[in-house]
Amino acid sequence: MLTDDRPRAGLHANMIVKPDGTRHWPLTGYKQFRDIAPIRQYQFRQNTPDRIEVRLIAERPLFRNEESH
């Protein structure tokens, strides 16, 4: 647990880093997830500046047409 408010290297919650090093708040489109499939939870994790991992939790197994979106 962090007990003070000093800046930490690499701790930029909810921001992404573009390949040129600039940071910005992403637009995820999360409000449209439920229009495509019954997504209950989602998580985006940026592993490198050019790779973002997406984790989804659905209420049920997805149909083939939902997976292909």
Closest C-alpha to 49, from 26, 17, 12: 17
Residue found by looking up tokens 């985006």 in the block: 44
**Residue 1 pLDDT exceeds 80:** no
Contact criterion met (CB below 8 Å) for 58 and 39: yes
Phi, psi values for residue 65, rounded to 5°: -70, -30
Element (H, E) at 46: strand 39-48
Looking at the DSSP bridge assignments, the partners of residue 25 are none
Where does the pLDDT of residue 10 fall: very low under 50, low under 70, confident under 90, or very high at 90 and above?
low
Encode pLDDT of 25-51 as tens digits: 888 777 788 888 999 998 888 988 889
Element (H, E) at 65: helix 64-67
Whole-prediction pTM: 0.63
